[in-house]
Structure 1
């Protein structure tokens, strides 16, 4: 973090796949995951020009996995990365959504409250959770039109 000019604001280590509050060299605060920073994702979405305005849900029907997430701008690159990982069915794609990050966090919280544990990372779950995810996403889309 120091090499990138940032300061960690969390009082303790939360784990490599958990968001940590940080402040970039220009004073913006954000919540990147250490694993994403290490992979070259940077520490500040504002400085990187990332608006997080796309929300998506994809599935891997062979391995019974669903993943939801956010990206910025044109989602093709991000979705093609997931497709190479077997998540080749796009179930929902909401572009131009300024509250995509809030929707992602709402999905994570709802699944946590339902007692569901991620299969890996923060947004990969067993496909049995798809109904819960879609109920939340579709309700969100209806309310925020």
Structure 2
């Protein structure tokens, strides 16, 4: 049985990636607010900040990736990786502007790698579950 091929509209994949990255950035802000409340209530120690920070970055990359590949049938790993990297760059830009401190570092390069890897892996796993 042949499936009807839908015509690709130029720019739809890029818009999907950007929208997903913005949605993941909103999720990140919500998670940071929840974590700030948890810290304020002294339910977790300040030593947990690097671990939770890494978890939030990975969760945002995974969320952006899954939102991006919901309607993708081919090369979802690539779209997931692009979504993860886009999310990391967008989150970096948002929080750099909020902190009024934009500086490039090796940590950003590491975050980009983690975002790409988390995005690719989550997209592949999501496609397997379909």
Q: TM-score range by the shorter chain?
A: under 0.3
Higher-RCO chain (CA-CA 8 Å, sequence separation at least 6): 2
Q: What TM-score results when the alignment is normalised by the length of structure 2?
A: 0.27
Of Structure 1 and Structure 2, the greater helix share is in 2
TM-score by length of 1: 0.24
